[in-house]
Structure 1
Amino acid sequence: MAWKVRKEFTMDRRSALRAMGAGGLAVAGGTGAVVAADAGPTEGLGAPPYAPAGRRPRHRRATWSQQFQPGHGWTAGGAGTASTNPADTAVFTRGAASVRVTTAGTGVQSYVRKSGMSVMNLTGKMIRLVFRVTDVTHLSRIQFYLGSSGLKNAFSWRVHTHGTGAAANYAQSGEWVTVHLQWADVSAASGAYSLSAQGVPSARSGFTDMSFAVYDDASAPVTYHLQVIELVSDTVSVFPAGVVSLTFDDSHKSVHDLARPVMDPWGIPGTLYNIADVIGTGTYVNLGQMRSLQDASGWEMAGHSFAAATHTASYPKLTAQEVDADFVKLREWLVGNGFTSEHFAYPHGAFQKTTDGVPVDQLAARHFTTARSIVSETIESFAPAMPHRLKALTGVTDGTGIGGAALSRVIGPGGALDRCARSGCWLILCLHRIVADAPTASTEISQTGLRTLVTEIRERGIEVLTVQEAMAYHA
């Protein structure tokens, strides 16, 4: 059954207290599984010398919630389903149960759904999902459907497409994951519903059906748990035309020399994620340039790693002690040099587990208020679903035949800017090096291309904020 807000959150607090009283420890962040209180490889790390002062964003209260407690009335099924437990009391993170489904290993859809519910109006709303995949090795993708008439009319969202190899996936094995689905993220429409050329859905009300669908890779089954489907208020009322954050990785001097002259006339600041021990060397910014960007132009000087070797390796190739030590040095360096940002971007976007099994994003949370990834399946939201897995569109370039995200698609009809402007969401763009001539790599954008991007943002009336400024709205 779906519960109203007052009752449901009282029940959540009692459940959490019961779990803590039973010797459990809730993973930091509010959406982790209830786990045994065993520090493991993080023992001995000690308190961070510079713990983040910035608070987590206030938990956005649901206006409608389905928490999948016993008697919920939803159906698990589909040709791709092998077995189900509608009330699994062994694995859950709210209340006393969740829905458990094991797929058939055939690549066919498996789902948890319900039709014929009371009519819903999702104007000014976004959808919050909390789910868990036991082992993501054979996960292919997760989709969500919202519609009517038994889903004959439906909008669909691509919640997660699982990458292989070294890809940093938003969904990791055995972790409770929170995802916000906004109107900007709708990927397809069917039946009586449609999307305009600018990506605007034809309806935002009249919905009676929902379906959470999982596909394995047709090689082996996967087991997933669904804990929450909720409606929460979006932020169109705060940012009617959305917000863009222009972020730049790796401390390239071209950000000071070529990006700043484009952005200063508009009064637009950016966020520069810095590698501390390259500052003042080669083609990287020096301390004077960083301070000028921060103090004269309002830029944010954030963290990317302390050691260049650490950045090259990426954190998942290190132990928890090594990762935490790099975080400690980075924060000390930032604070010691007068840089006020408490925000971070993962080298190569990688936040998977360390070599001794500790999630890198949990270590990042000890030192930074947010940590940005390069996952871009959905656009980021206010407040972020998982602040230490901020989503960002990376590799924006006006080059040709070099990969990356084509600038023409970002600024074109129905592209990321259009969707941001019409849904009030937070679009984080990840850039790297600015070049005077034609880009030759996906990590480059020309100064002319950056000027075009900034012009298109301003023409849509989208506000531009640093990550630090954006988070301040919802602390």
Structure 2
Amino acid sequence: MGLGGLATAGALGMPPATAGAAPSDGLAVPPFAPTGRRPRFRRATWSQQFQAGHGWSAQGAGTASSNPVDTAVFTRGSSSVRVTTTGTGVQSSVRRTGMAPMDLTGRMIRLVFRVTDVTHLGKVVFYLGRGGLKDFYSWRVHTRTANPAEYVQSGEWVTVHLQWADVSAASGAYTLSASGDPSVRSGFTDMSFAVYDDAGAPVTYNLQAVELVPDTTSVFPKGVVSVTFDDSQVSVHDLARPVMDSLGMPGTLYNIAEAVGTGGFVNIAQMRSLQDFSGWEMAGHAYADAVHTAGYPALTAQQADDDFRKLREWLVGNGFTSEHFAYPHGEFQKTTDGVPVDLLAARHFTTARSIISETVESYAPAMPYRLKAVTGITDGTGVGGTALAGVTGTGGALDRCARSGSWLVLCLHKVVTGTPVASTEISLAGLRQLMTGIQDRGITVLTVQEAMAYYG
């Protein structure tokens, strides 16, 4: 079962067919389709789209073969650059040096690329610098892991935004301050898109675009944070709400419909109170408990679509205005019959949040159905997850958000009064530390729904 012509649009994070279009492959028209209030496409201030005569070249000992004008695989214009690696784990790159100096103040880098098969992909790194890359900054664009729900999926065009908050290293005359501030943001003449295979076998990749677009600082000079909670835990109402109310901060609660009103979870009245009196967003996480447990990739496309439909109907029927969603376990890869889950989510919701955090989110998001988020934030010891100190400490996620500008989406689950015993728990004291850390840095706090409304 497939979704026909929706595949390319979905892979680029673009809107699928709306309720006014014909249903795809037997799936019913959604009764509550997304409203279409999505961020407008950001026009590039500088763009390299890899058409004939682009002047970039495939380099590196890790390059086995290349085609600078591949007219067989592309998603813009009539060509892209295609490269196949050697399978030795050595760097392969598409680069250009000696360009006219560029100023990246208030800008982020937009990449559009494709990996034919990610099985033996190691990592993707982007370099920006000068002097033949003697001085450079680098961004870790993507690192392949064992998690099947990764941002880069086989055979799909993906869009990635790289912001100053994401810089992973500096070399030569370039430096990063203790709080993650780059020493230089202009005068760049060199760029390199580098791919490393895992030394097990070659990989083939296509690079379609390297562009500069306005970053989040054009709207929020100190960036913006969305505080989200998964799973409808009642502790969000009882413990998190009073802390956030005292600071005037709203949150987004991603809900499991069948769990609502049962032991340990919020009820409808509490959800309405959060929405109507504290400005919170009541979003979707799954309709059925069993679906939340299994994850959407464990279902057929029809089963997944049915759960999405029931969830939207339940939200609307109970007076909740959000049309935003978070994947259970962060999983959006294909269903058992081969349909990408994010394409199905796009039939019913305006965004869908993952738990990917190799880079942070931006305005506008690169792929609204793979929103990035820092998850498992905890002040527990030896429980895994993301250490709270790494978020609130010097040079951590909050510092980088405030100094570099980004949309930092935080994912929490349960708040406890004692010591956390799992990565899905944060103590009440830890939550206060997190929220005051946001306030002290002057970072704006918005729900996901509010954030997306800025670019209608």
**1:27-176 matched pairs, under 5 angstroms:** 27-29=8-10, 31=12, 42-164=24-146, 166-176=147-157
**1:68-467 matched pairs, under 5 angstroms:** 68-164=50-146, 166-467=147-448
1:474 shift after superposition: 1.3
Q: Higher relative contact order by CA 8 Å / sep ≥ 6: 1 or 2?
A: 2
Q: Conserved in 2, the CA contact under 8 Å of 1:42 and 1:358?
A: no
| 1:397-439 alpha-carbon deviations (Å, 9 max, x no partner) | 0111111110111011110000000122100000000000010
Q: 1:321 to 1:93 in 2, by over 3 A?
A: same
1:312 alignment partner, SS class: helix
TM (normalized to structure 1)? 0.92
In 2, distance between residues paired with 1:54 and 1:94?
23
**Aligned AA (2:351):** T
Q: 1:277 to 1:31 in 2, by over 3 A?
A: same
In 1, distance between residues paired with 2:108 and 2:131?
21
In 2, distance between residues paired with 1:297 and 1:314?
31
Q: Conserved in 2, the CA contact under 8 Å of 1:396 and 1:443?
A: yes
1:30 shift after superposition: 7.7
| 1:261-285 alpha-carbon deviations (Å, 9 max, x no partner) | 1111111110000000011101111
Residue 17 of structure 2 corresponds to none
1:31 shift after superposition: 2.7
In 1, distance between residues paired with 2:13 and 2:70?
17
In 2, distance between residues paired with 1:250 and 1:25?
30
Mean alpha-carbon deviation: is it higher for 41-50 or for 138-147?
A: 41-50
1:163 shift after superposition: 1.3
2:254 alignment partner, SS class: strand
Residue 4 of structure 1 corresponds to none
Q: Conserved in 2, the CA contact under 8 Å of 1:88 and 1:98?
A: yes
1:141 alignment partner, SS class: strand
2:45 alignment partner, SS class: strand
1:197 alignment partner, SS class: coil
| 1:335-359 alpha-carbon deviations (Å, 9 max, x no partner) | 0000000000000000001111111
In 2, distance between residues paired with 1:254 and 1:235?
32
| 1:311-356 alpha-carbon deviations (Å, 9 max, x no partner) | 0000111111010000000000000000000000000000001111
In 2, distance between residues paired with 1:167 and 1:253?
30
Q: Conserved in 1, the CA contact under 8 Å of 2:352 and 2:369?
A: yes
Q: 1:24 to 1:52 in 2, by over 3 A?
A: closer
**Aligned AA (2:228):** T
Q: Conserved in 1, the CA contact under 8 Å of 2:66 and 2:83?
A: yes
Q: 1:427 to 1:32 in 2, by over 3 A?
A: closer
1:357 alignment partner, SS class: coil
1:56 shift after superposition: 2.1
1:24 shift after superposition: 7.1
Aligned length: 446
Q: Conserved in 2, the CA contact under 8 Å of 1:248 and 1:430?
A: yes
In 1, distance between residues paired with 2:148 and 2:425?
21
1:42 shift after superposition: 4.7
In 2, distance between residues paired with 1:88 and 1:102?
12
1:378 shift after superposition: 0.5
In 2, distance between residues paired with 1:25 and 1:324?
15
Q: Conserved in 1, the CA contact under 8 Å of 2:354 and 2:373?
A: yes
1:28 alignment partner, SS class: helix
In 1, distance between residues paired with 2:184 and 2:364?
24
TM (normalized to structure 2)? 0.96
In 1, distance between residues paired with 2:11 and 2:298?
27
2:216 alignment partner, SS class: coil
**Aligned AA (1:121):** D
In 1, distance between residues paired with 2:405 and 2:284?
27
**Aligned AA (1:473):** Y
Mean alpha-carbon deviation: is it higher for 24-33 or for 167-176?
A: 24-33
Stretches (4+) displaced over 2 A: 23-33
1:196 alignment partner, SS class: coil
Residue 5 of structure 1 corresponds to none
